[in-house]
Amino acid sequence: MKILVLGGDGFCGWPSALHLSERGHDVVIVDNLSRRKIDVELEVESLTPIQPISTRLNAWSRVSGKSIGFVNLCVGKEYQELLDLIASERPAAIVHFAEQRAAPYSMKSARHKRYTVDNNLNATNDVLSAIVDSGLDIHLIHLGTMGVYGYGTAGMKIPEGYLNIKVATSEGLQDQEILYPANPGSIYHMTKTQDQLFFHFYNKNDKVRITDLHQGIVWGTQTAETKRDESLINRFDYDGDYGTVLNRFLMQAAIDFPLTVHGTGGQTRAFIHIQDTVRCIQLAVENPPQAGEKVLIMNQMTETHRVRDLAKMIADITGAEVVNLSNPRNEADENDLHVEHDTFLSLGLKPITLETGLMEEVTDIARRYADRCDRSKVPALSYWNAERLAAKNRAE
Amino acid sequence: MKILVLGGDGFCGWPSALHLSERGHDVVIVDNLSRRKIDVELEVESLTPIQPISTRLNAWSRVSGKSIGFVNLCVGKEYQELLDLIASERPAAIVHFAEQRAAPYSMKSARHKRYTVDNNLNATNDVLSAIVDSGLDIHLIHLGTMGVYGYGTAGMKIPEGYLNIKVATSEGLQDQEILYPANPGSIYHMTKTQDQLFFHFYNKNDKVRITDLHQGIVWGTQTAETKRDESLINRFDYDGDYGTVLNRFLMQAAIDFPLTVHGTGGQTRAFIHIQDTVRCIQLAVENPPQAGEKVLIMNQMTETHRVRDLAKMIADITGAEVVNLSNPRNEADENDLHVEHDTFLSLGLKPITLETGLMEEVTDIARRYADRCDRSKVPALSYWNAERLAAKNRAE
């Protein structure tokens, strides 16, 4: 099927585009290369030597015999171009990764808050409006985040998107299904909760078929497809803004730094391997909701861990030390997290666990490219609010 | 107290600014005159002869001896200018009306959807970010809408912002308070539900003190202050986009048109007189939430009526006929609406009822200025989706 992958040059977008192409779909990447430009701004580079998009696409064509299209277009700003592209390509599905996706980056300053809000919300609205405008029946698949849920209620398993509640009425308690109440922890996460309201409205008003995937923290770097040629290699971010907690631990271990745990490290997070991410995207694309169905929401994660347990796992493999620092984020030090994620399992997903996959990250990525690391970029330097910044300053 | 009124040249903003000034507050209006420019786009004018902002402000100074400042600034785009203004004026409160506020306008075309989303969401985020950036403790008062609630649940009274629910957990049913689940009926209403998430986040993360006012449909034109000079007169919109259902009925009666009811007219709506609106704004400004308190949400409405009952009320006064047309909006034909609105009553609001105030609108506004009416602008011409447009085309 013909598929547009918006943000198809990014960390999740690129391997997803390759995987969909490998499965025989006809893929066109739409990307304004904003993620590479943010690297320029932050004066940091992917640890892995990612190649320019044209080199990537040529390499894919060489090793697979398949071609992927590319259009440099700013989703959220260049509306007519997006609409024209949809009208001419007539895709059956659009996968939407075209959002700024780092919580710390979204909290750095007013400029970064404003960019994240402006970029993410206009991008999502433009895609939906263009689908309606085109008059075509296009399935939209969007990358959401587990962060839309906040951190749940004690004793409760976070459901897949919808919550059954009881409401007091004049006729007694009534059952009702609602979108899970949002409690975002950063500007970035907030935009994803606002995206849900776009989806709810366009689905209700225009019957757009939509799948929203609430993803956990992605770990791992390579997929079956990105391994096929050195030029296809995927991003590995280790900096304080874009590096996930796991990547920063891996990097710290590789360059003989202690692993820095924020607060007590009792924060529980949901995880998924990048190989499972691309498989989930494929499953979502190939299993669309029916016309007239509500927004399909699936939790795209496979296991949960506490941050301090992750640190211990990596310390055990690498011999690194663990140290605790004050937390720049405005969040609880300890939280439980129980998440329903049966839908993808029922569609056939066979998860890769941290226990089995972590060693490859240590040897094939972190140690192999350690000489490309800029050590000054590892610490997290975005503070969530005035209090968290003051706490850090007092500690110094 | 020093107060910035964003959107202070508009239908609610202008009389609110005057009322706050009359109460002795030091008011600065911030407005990019977008509402007047939309009149240019729609080729329509306020039925009442509103004066340019400088004429208005001079007249106010002449009749009241008080001066109101004015800054032409686009909230949501000109961030540094907004921040500089806040830093120099150091307001105790900011009243935020700076949003595109017509549901039909927001549904006219992709361009109008995109403008409403871009304008409203960036405006709200910029105000909040600038308050945080300024380091000042500023109370933000925002005009929301009853439309954030959707149309409620049978047998249930819509609460003021928050809903108490019971959630099933491993320890049995647990009580929880959540933001009332959003179910917006247009792109415009959707942006107000997304605004709520901005407020929730900035209140939680940065302790910004916020009051969100979910207003019903405003009727009436003049307030005690706008009546003091012909040059102070407030807007009266009667066109298919900005004219409320009540204003369009008044206008149709004045020009001997039948009153056009969409569908069965069984839609129940909440109403408030503009004089009560400005009083509510004053009460909200003068009764801020405390530092650390959650977002204060109040329902700003005083009575509910079915659309067909409104039509009958005006037909009875004026002798006009009533006709039913197909509904351009994607909404239920019949709905009940019960709304809690005790907070403003407890703060001392004494509502003006339709029954007592409607005659003045008929004689002092609709009939008096009927010769300024462009009859071609009365019908509603925005269709909510492809189906509603097709239904209208079939009927013709």
Average confidence (pLDDT) over B354-362: 91
Q: Percent of chain A at pLDDT above 90? A: 82
* pLDDT band, very low/low/confident/very high, at A249 (cuts 50, 70, 90): very high
Average confidence (pLDDT) over B331-342: 88
**Are the Cβ atoms of A153 and B174 closer than 8 angstroms?**
yes
Average pLDDT over chain B reads: 94
Is the pLDDT at B381 greater than 80? The verdict is no
**Identity of the residue in A155, A182, A386 whose CB atom sits nearest the CB atom of B197:** A182
Average confidence (pLDDT) over A120-135: 98
pLDDT at A213 (0 to 100) = 98
pLDDT at A151 (0 to 100) = 58
Contact list in A for residue B130 (CB cut-off 8 A) is 110
pLDDT at B375 (0 to 100) = 87
Q: Which of A35-44, A346-355, B170-179, B253-262 has the lowest mean pLDDT?
A: B170-179
pLDDT at B327 (0 to 100) = 85
> Residues 205-224, chain B: which have Cβ within 8 Å of A?
205-206
- Residue A104 CA neighbour count, 13 Å, CB half: 20
- Residue B223 CA neighbour count, 13 Å, CB half: 26
Catalytic one of B145, B226, B304, B343:
B145
| Strand duo A93-96 + A69-71: pairing | unpaired
pLDDT at B286 (0 to 100) = 98
User: Which chain B residue has its CA at the smallest distance from A200's CA?
Assistant: B183
**Identity of the residue in B122, B132, B155 whose CB atom sits nearest the CB atom of A117:** B122
* pLDDT band, very low/low/confident/very high, at A394 (cuts 50, 70, 90): confident
Average confidence (pLDDT) over B134-153: 90
* pLDDT band, very low/low/confident/very high, at A242 (cuts 50, 70, 90): very high
pLDDT at A351 (0 to 100) = 96
Name the minimum distance, in Å, from the CA of B254 to any CA of chain A: 34
pLDDT at A101 (0 to 100) = 97
Contact status of B49 with chain A (Cβ, < 8 Å): no
pLDDT at B154 (0 to 100) = 61
Catalytic residue status for A356: no
pLDDT at A104 (0 to 100) = 95
- The model's pTM is 0.96
Average confidence (pLDDT) over A350-370: 92
Name the minimum distance, in Å, from the CA of B175 to any CA of chain A: 10
pLDDT at B330 (0 to 100) = 82
Got the DSSP string for B234-301?
PP---STTTS-HHHHHHHHHHTTPPEEEETTSB-EEEEEEHHHHHHHHHHHHHSPPPTTPPPEEEEE-
Cβ-count burial of A187 within 10 angstroms (0-12 exposed, 13-18 middle, 19+ buried)?
buried
Distance CA B221, CA B251 (A): 13
* A interface test, pick of B205, B206, B389 with most A CB neighbours within 10 Å: B205
> Residues 148-177, chain B: which have Cβ within 8 Å of A?
153-156, 163-171, 173-174, 176
Reported as a single tens digit per residue, the pLDDT across A263-307 is 899 999 999 999 999 999 999 999 999 999 999 999 999 999 999
Distance CA A334, CA A384 (A): 18
| Strand duo A162-169 + B162-169: pairing | antiparallel
Is the pLDDT at A353 greater than 80? The verdict is yes
pLDDT at B387 (0 to 100) = 85
Name the minimum distance, in Å, from the CA of B151 to any CA of chain A: 14
Name the minimum distance, in Å, from the CA of B124 to any CA of chain A: 10
pLDDT at A382 (0 to 100) = 84
Q: Which of A196-200, B87-91, B237-241 has the lowest mean pLDDT?
A: B237-241
Residues ≥6 apart with Cβ < 8 Å to A90: A2, A136
pLDDT at A152 (0 to 100) = 60
Backbone angles phi, psi at A260, to 5 degrees: -95, 115
Average pLDDT over chain A reads: 94
Instruction: List the one residue out of A78, A203, A75 whose CA is nearest residue A127.
Output: A75
Distance CA B304, CA B117 (A): 28
pLDDT at B152 (0 to 100) = 60
Catalytic one of A151, A192, A193, A223:
A192
Name the minimum distance, in Å, from the CA of B256 to any CA of chain A: 35
pLDDT at B174 (0 to 100) = 85
Contact list in A for residue B170 (CB cut-off 8 A) is 155-156
Average confidence (pLDDT) over B112-132: 98
Is the pLDDT at A169 greater than 90? The verdict is no
Sign of CA dihedral A122, A127, A130, A135: negative
Is the pLDDT at A143 greater than 90? The verdict is yes
pLDDT at A335 (0 to 100) = 86
* pLDDT band, very low/low/confident/very high, at A187 (cuts 50, 70, 90): very high
> Residues 81-110, chain A: which have Cβ within 8 Å of B?
83, 110
Pair of tokens at residue B52:
């340019």
ipTM for the whole complex:
0.95
* pLDDT band, very low/low/confident/very high, at B378 (cuts 50, 70, 90): confident
**Are the Cβ atoms of B168 and A182 closer than 8 angstroms?**
no
According to DSSP, residue A261 is labeled E
Catalytic residue status for A145: yes
Q: Return the higher-pLDDT residue of A166 and A368.
A: A368
For residues B111 and B64, is the Cβ–Cβ distance under 8 A?
Answer: no
User: Which chain A residue has its CA at the smallest distance from B158's CA?
Assistant: A169
**Identity of the residue in A121, A184, A330 whose CB atom sits nearest the CB atom of B121:** A121
Neighbours of B10 (CB within 10 A): 25
Average confidence (pLDDT) over B13-37: 98
* pLDDT band, very low/low/confident/very high, at B150 (cuts 50, 70, 90): confident
Is the pLDDT at B328 greater than 90? The verdict is no
Distance CA A37, CA A366 (A): 23
pLDDT at A154 (0 to 100) = 61
**Identity of the residue in B79, B113, B167 whose CB atom sits nearest the CB atom of A114:** B79
Average confidence (pLDDT) over B210-224: 96
Distance CA A187, CA A120 (A): 10
Distance CA B75, CA A163 (A): 36
Catalytic one of A48, A116, A124, A145:
A145
Catalytic residue status for A192: yes
**Are the Cβ atoms of B168 and A181 closer than 8 angstroms?**
no
Distance CA A268, CA A245 (A): 12
Contact list in A for residue B176 (CB cut-off 8 A) is 153, 181
Name the minimum distance, in Å, from the CA of B343 to any CA of chain A: 21
Is the pLDDT at B76 greater than 90? The verdict is yes
Is the pLDDT at A349 greater than 80? The verdict is yes
Sheet-wide strand order for A268-273 = A217-219, A268-273, A303-306
pLDDT at A369 (0 to 100) = 95
Pair of tokens at residue A340:
């329903």
Catalytic one of A79, A188, A369, A383:
A188
Is the pLDDT at B168 greater than 70? The verdict is yes
* pLDDT band, very low/low/confident/very high, at A166 (cuts 50, 70, 90): confident
> Residues 181-210, chain A: which have Cβ within 8 Å of B?
181-184, 187, 190, 193-194, 197-198, 200-201, 204-206
User: Which chain B residue has its CA at the smallest distance from A185's CA?
Assistant: B201
**Are the Cβ atoms of B117 and A118 closer than 8 angstroms?**
no
pLDDT at A34 (0 to 100) = 98
**Are the Cβ atoms of B125 and A113 closer than 8 angstroms?**
yes
Name the minimum distance, in Å, from the CA of B129 to any CA of chain A: 6
